[in-house]
Amino acid sequence: MRLRPPRFWTSETPHLAARALTPVSAVVSRIAQQRSTQPGYHASVPVLCCGNATTGGTGKTPLTLDFVRRLQARGHTPHILSRGHGGKQHGPLAVNPSRYTARDVGDEPMLLSACAPTWIGANRGNTAQLAVSEGADCLVMDDGFQNTTLNKTLSLLIVDGASGFGNQRVLPSGPLRESLENAFARAHAIILIGDDRRHIHRLTSLPILQARFIPGPEIRRLQGVRVIAFAGIGRPEKFFTMLREAGIEPVRTLSFPDHHNYTPRDIQRLDALRLEANTTLVTTAKDAVKLPPTFRAHTVIISVDVLWEDPTAPDHILDQLFA
């Protein structure tokens, strides 16, 4: 069963349930504020954090990959730091794809490790020290905006343009991990993914850089093909919408929970649907790292590219990182 956020989290009008939970939210907000003032480890190299202020997927991992590739193109040796959500290993450790699986270290670290050395561990200060000792000359954090164990050189808030900050209330009254005031005070810029449907620009004076996700070249294989799309990411609907915007209308879509580990029963069901409907299965790169190789061989895996509204924007961020 897929657990969905309460509908009142996205409501733009006051809701009775949100009001009733306000006392609990006040406690959560106070704890988050206290934690944000705790000192962290000062790394000897620049640290870029791609985080968010809300629960759920906003696109942190694709942005992390984009910045890592840009850093590599500049001749740097970036390492990636992740918590390793969904994995059995707690770290700190380096993600070795030949030794670990997504069940061990999490799906996102497995995906990230194909691009650059990746470390998992709740204490980002510890993983930062290990990464630097192994040759990292800069660090990129996939999530961890609220993690205080490592000081950041630059912190970016990744925001989904369609959902924004929801009802702008802190958990459990809303989707925020902390108050917007507290989050904005520590952020250096906002990366807005998609159109600003929630009027984010009215909430802050922070620089807002816009980008959107577009499917990778694999999408060409699906032109004129009947497909069944499935995804276990923060917001599967975003993946399905991306396919439709590229001219691919799935005959069926299946949503799984974020970080879902596909069971043999799931694989059997998906394979049966593929054969019965004479269709091609299509999924995300994040989901693909959790699929058996034999099954992955007949599934089209769509990567995601970042298209910046201002092509110079990411380079300006990296210039600041090393300023």
Length of the chain: 323
- Give whole-number Cα distances, 295 to 218, 232, 236, 281, in Å: 17, 16, 20, 10
Rounded average pLDDT per 10-residue block, the chain, 323 residues: 76 87 96 93 98 92 98 98 93 96 96 98 97 98 97 98 95 97 98 96 97 96 95 93 95 94 96 91 97 94 97 98 95
What is residue 1's predicted lDDT score, i.e. its pLDDT? 41
| Torsion angles phi and psi, residue 240, rounded to 5 | -65, -40
Sheet of 47-51: strand order equals 93-94, 118-120, 78-82, 138-142, 47-51, 154-160, 189-193, 208-215, 304-308
What is residue 3's predicted lDDT score, i.e. its pLDDT? 58
Name, in order, each residue with C-beta under 8 angstroms of 297's C-beta and a sequence gap of 6 or more. Answer: none
Is 55 flagged in the annotation as binding?
Answer: yes
DSSP code of 247? T
* pTM, rounded to two decimals: 0.95
Is 54 flagged in the annotation as binding?
Answer: yes
Is 148 flagged in the annotation as binding?
Answer: no
Using CB atoms within 10 A of its CB, is residue 27 exposed (0-12), middle (13-18) or buried (19+)? exposed
Distance between CA 254 and CA 191 in Å, rounded? 28
Is 284 flagged in the annotation as binding?
Answer: no
Q: Which domains does the chain have, with CATH numbers?
A: 41-213+307-321 (3.40.50.300), 217-302 (3.40.50)
Q: Are 254 and 262 in contact (CB under 8 A)?
A: no
What is residue 193's predicted lDDT score, i.e. its pLDDT? 96
Helix axes 60-73, 313-321, angle to 10 degrees: 70
Is 101 flagged in the annotation as binding?
Answer: no
